[in-house]
Amino acid sequence: MKKLVSMILCGVCFLSFGLTSFGEEITFNSSTIELENTILHRSKRSTDYLYKTDCDINFSYKNGKLNVSGHTKAFEDVDKISVEIFIQKYNEKSRRWETFKTILESEKNSDCVRSSRSYSVGPGKYRAKSYHELQKGQSKESGRNTTNSIKVN
């Protein structure tokens, strides 16, 4: 046990020694770190702009339609924001999901995009997958969603 504790302490000391600046001034802000004459640029986290993504599917027995929707939301206005929805039906023979409709919506200089459609469909098992993307300057962020499957009789 003593060996383990001493190894951990040695590791901590070694790491802290590596971070010593030896008299150089270290400054940083949210996107860069400056070490005297050297500037290191950090890449942004994957969620600097992308706030929320969602995708939904349901069947209305009242009007006999499959309803799908998707939504992409950013924290602020971005150069381009989009949602692409893939409506899929399960093929019992091949045991695979097959895309039979694709919806793409995008907006420029906006903080959100939303899309919804309704389709008449036959009996089967359905789901929706969505791909969400936004771009602000050189930064691109994306997300994906898949709904649970629903059965239409």
Q: What is the pLDDT of residues 16-56, one digit of tens each?
A: 444 444 444 444 444 455 544 444 444 455 578 999 999 99
DSSP state of 49: S
Q: Which CATH class is domain 50-152?
A: mainly beta
User: What is the C-alpha radius of gyration for the chain, rounded to an integer number of angstroms?
Assistant: 25
Task: Tell me what pLDDT residue 7 has.
Answer: 62
CB 45 within 8 A of CB 59: no
Task: Tell me what pLDDT residue 24 has.
Answer: 45
Q: What are phi and psi of 82, to 5 degrees?
A: -145, 160
Give pTM, 2 decimals.
0.69
CB 83 within 8 A of CB 70: yes
Alpha carbon distance 30, 42 (integer Å): 8
Give the total residue count for the chain.
153
The CATH 2.60.40.3930 domain(s) of the chain lie at 50-152
Task: Tell me what pLDDT residue 42 has.
Answer: 44
